[in-house]
Structure 1
Amino acid sequence: MKAKDVLGRTGEELAADHLTAAGYAIIERNWRCRQGEIDLVARDGATLVVVEVKTRSSLDFGHPFEAVSSAKLTRLYLLAAAWARAHPAAAHDWRVDAVSVLLPGSFASSGSPDPVIEHLKGIG
């Protein structure tokens, strides 16, 4: 597996753990359809939450949230609608969130600094 794929999966795991600790229920990971992929689908109380996770090992190429462009945001809303159509009984109120995971240094090495996780609710 490529290092960027390991970084992304690690970030998604940390984001899911962070959301679970905040009281969210993770109901699906890496849901795919023709339009693309949703990283995480969760519930925040009665609200369905489509979560985009952006993970970086440094800020050399900008903050992870900077990778959520207007085109990406449009795609996330289309994906949320596709998920809702595929799961009509589960989908009611929903929103799109983003979680940024910064894993400074070598995330695979022991003794590296703790990850920095930020959560933006209701983006767009």
Structure 2
Amino acid sequence: MNHWLVKSEPSAYSWDDFVNEKRTFWNGVRNFQARNNLKAMKEGDLVFFYHSVNNPAVVGIAKVVREFYQDPTTDDANWVVVDLEPYQVLKHPVSLQKIKETPELQNIALIRQSRLSVMPLKKEEFDLILAMSE
């Protein structure tokens, strides 16, 4: 199993929106590195849901329930989506500030490539963020 983080501005699509819908396809990715990360996602992978911009924080966990396919919002074959379902709300959101203050997380893409919207995490990084939410 692989681990990931996806970012969304809560004013555009929040964790609450996601939970209410119960399932979504993760669309709007228009960066080739992020697209390649979507293509690498496998059914069953766990994905942190991160609210960006205002009060940036990891707020929940999603699960990949369908691997990549053509983004239905565009005819451009370069872009793909995956289907996600809510898996678990975090007990306490893990803020970007807390992540930045944690030495073991200094090399994650959230810090190094702050504009990347879909990124991989090592299992140890995922587990550490999850532990920080307790």
Structure number with the bigger relative contact order (C-alpha 8 A, sep ≥ 6) is: 2
- TM-score bracket, shorter-length normalisation: under 0.3
Larger radius of gyration: 1
Taking structure 1 as the reference length, what is the TM-score of the superposition? 0.27
